[in-house]
Amino acid sequence: MDLSHADHTSAPEPSTSGRRVLPGSVLLCAGPLSSADLVAVARHDARVDLDDDALAGVDASRRIVEALASDPEPHYGVSTGFGALATTFIEPDRRAQLQASLVRSHAAGSGTPVEREVVRALMALRLSTLLTGRTGVRVETVRAYAGLLNAGITPVVREYGSLGCSGDLAPLAHCALALMGEGEVDDRDGVRLPAAEALAAAGLSPIRLAEKEGLALINGTDGMLGMLALALHDLRLLLTTADIAAGMSVEGLLGTDAVFAADLQALRPQLGQSDSAANLRTILAGSPVVASHRGPECTRVQDAYSLRCAPQVHGAARDTVAHAALVADRELASAVDNPVLTLDGRVESNGNFHGAPVAYVLDFLAIVVADVASMSERRTDRFLDRSRNNGLPPFLAHEVGVDSGLMIAQYTAAGIVSELKRLAHPASVDSIPSSAMQEDHVSMGWAAARKLRRAIDGLGRVLAIELMTASRGLQLRGPLEPAAGTGAVQRLVHSRIDGAGPDRFLSPEIEVVTELVQSGQVVTAAESAVGTLR
């Protein structure tokens, strides 16, 4: 899905080297790749340009590796085997074969190919690490890797194969295999063909890997990190959408906005809660529906938790996203490889490839997604129950008894929420030994990232069903008018699907509103009426 609200790439932005890049391009240098630039490359096909200073650093580090290659003492990844075979010395005339064999054997993924944007994200991150000068690859290999991205060539990376330690080996190996002119790829038009044919069509030549290069191309957390960066981009949009949906439900269910007052929220100074409550105040400002029952004749003392506590739940989700973003930014600034070239020229084995930091926050976010969706579904359900919806028809049906209204749309939301609860079970608590017990504890970060992507899609659908329901509920409150912000969203929804009326085929309407959510059009509509939301 293409959630493009939060980050835009149309205007030039400064790179980490202090240069400015042209619209539609991203300058990769020795410094961290920003998450916004990563999304631009992965999702919007921004071109990658390589910083000259970074390439000079790559060349300098390569000379260190070449010196070690002629050393009679064994050096891991340069003149030895890998993993459990790390003590096996490899003669110089066999080392090119060693690197190629490493890539071929590790490109052992299975299952359905993963999404194009995921592959491009992990490739951009691996390229960023190569440019740190800490991996020991050749400049020509770096240029060739960038050439794959810029040609729109996407290696076929399959669903299963990564344990998240040593990083995402199998997914990265499929990409390295394409660099060698082997394996399958999709071209810019999505046509699947042999890598050698795609390279030739793009005017690119396969790379024959030298010492250390095969290892440098496959040893990193790039797959799970790329999916984390994309997830954070998407969740920021969806959490703002959740505030909008909650505001529409508060309004449509004749709830109160008094509980969102700034002084009440300040009694619990959680940052995300404050932002969410501010959004709710903004989206409900000036609502004639809310004003209609604000007087002393209103006998309801408190709204249900799914209405009253929306800032607390949505805010806690925002704080979790902020923590995950901090971890992601640190990982984006990392040079993950094993062995790695240190700043003083040593080649050292290390454990930085272990995916635990990324895996944990991916799992945290899956919990967040499940809970935000669960609260949204509860608000949807309140609209449909005549004992709790304050005067609306059962299931918001047109002709009660003949029509079922939105009854089964709520079933769909409930089914998704149940699935999200299963997806919230952490992958990172699992581990399975591999490589003859050399790799005896693994992160499962790739699996955590894969289930989070599915969960985020589900959250968008649950919010879409709430927005459909709230829009119909607000329509049935007529002639009372909604607030400016909620009204703008209601008009958007009802410009694409019908409002209240006899039963009709609902599945296409759910898909239409889901697209409005996932594309950011819901947030854009609200902001067009009330200004920028948090």
pLDDT on residue 81 = 66
For residue range 200-245, list pLDDT tens digits in order: 999 999 999 998 899 899 988 999 999 999 999 999 999 999 999 9
CA distance 144 to 139: 9
Asked if the model's pLDDT at residue 316 lies above 60, the reply is yes
Q: Which class does domain 228-530 fall in? A: mainly alpha
Helix (H, G, I), strand (E, B) or coil at 194: strand
Q: What is the mean pLDDT of the chain?
A: 90
For residue range 295-305, list pLDDT tens digits in order: 776 666 689 99
Residue with tokens 């299931």: 395
Where, residue-wise, is CATH 1.10.275.10 in the chain?
Answer: 25-220
Nearest by Cα to 118 from 168, 165, 150, 157: 157
pLDDT on residue 6 = 37
- Which position has the higher pLDDT, 453 or 10? 453
pLDDT on residue 11 = 32
Which are the catalytic amino acids?
A: 76
8 A C-beta contact, residue 235 and residue 321 = yes
Confidence of residue 21 (pLDDT cuts 50, 70, 90): very low
Confidence of residue 477 (pLDDT cuts 50, 70, 90): very high
What kind and span of H or E run contains 307? helix 305-308
Asked if the model's pLDDT at residue 267 lies above 90, the reply is yes
pLDDT on residue 402 = 95
pLDDT on residue 5 = 36
Helix (H, G, I), strand (E, B) or coil at 202: coil
What kind and span of H or E run contains 158? strand 158-160
Residue range 342-368: mean pLDDT, rounded = 89
For residue range 102-159, list pLDDT tens digits in order: 999 999 999 999 999 999 999 999 999 999 999 999 999 999 999 999 999 999 999 9
Helix (H, G, I), strand (E, B) or coil at 45: coil
CA distance 449 to 493: 31
pLDDT on residue 12 = 32
Please name the fold of domain 25-220. Fumarase C; Chain B, domain 1 (1.10.275)
pLDDT on residue 4 = 38
pTM: 0.91
Residue range 76-93: mean pLDDT, rounded = 69
Asked if the model's pLDDT at residue 337 lies above 90, the reply is no
Where, residue-wise, is CATH 1.20.200.10 in the chain?
Answer: 228-530
pLDDT on residue 18 = 32
Residue range 422-432: mean pLDDT, rounded = 90
Residue 239's identity, in one-letter code, is L
